[in-house]
Amino acid sequence: MNDFAASRWANRDFAKAFRNEADFYVPFRHRVIEITLSLYQHLSGSNPGSKVLDLGCGDGFFISALLAAEERPVTAVLVDGSAGMLDAARQRLAGQGGAIDFRRATFQELLVEDRLDHDFDLVFSSLAIHHLGLEEKTDLYRFIYNHLRPGGQFFNFDAVLSPSEDLEKCYLSLWTTWIRQHPGPAGLDRLLPVPDQYKDNPDNSPDTLKAQLAALEEIGFEAVDCPFKYGIFALFGGRKAVA
């Protein structure tokens, strides 16, 4: 398991750069949120309220979209190891309503000491869990399962390891093409190296989609699926069976 404090994400300037540039180098970020919210709304049943956990919440991008779309009262817990990200999330969500709880904690700390006192209808994570090894991912998925209400859903949008070297080259090329088509205010010179930087970054420990779907099924998730995939980026998850 990587030490969060020693990673780039603990650096406020790096976290700020990600917030400013994510739309330009994370393919279909907005579309993934739309798909997640649509699935949640269609599958969540008739609960009078909505309790949501965002693990690795960043600047609150997902919860902001959920608050705008959800008609039921929302209780949300946002967890991130970066103080800078949580500050940005507070600013983004100020005045949007809902009962919002911000908690600074790394995944390591959550697994050692369970700090959550809710069971949730939805757990979401984006571009965060790939920093863990497969065994540690599985431990976190089990932690998530244990914090879901019966029928609750989990969705993870993350980078996954390609099953072969030739596919990896193809997928990284797709990613580079996306960046060329979305240069953003930073320009291509800054963003084009991102795919290679991701590949060579020792903080990253992606695993195959197949291995992670199998881990979810072994834990007990049902309806395990991948509703969206583009190259190395995948939205996947499952739900806790109704007792």
Tens of pLDDT, residue by residue over 1-13, are 455 554 554 445 5
CA distance 223 to 140: 19
> CA 135, CA 128: separation in Å to the nearest integer?
15
Q: Which pLDDT score, from 0 to 100, does residue 10 have?
A: 47
Report how far Cα 136 is from the mean position of its chain's Cα atoms: 16
Q: Tens digit of pLDDT for each residue in 180-231?
A: 998 888 777 888 988 988 888 888 999 999 999 999 999 999 999 999 999 9
Which pTM value belongs to this model? 0.91
Fold classification of 4-239 is Rossmann fold (3.40.50)
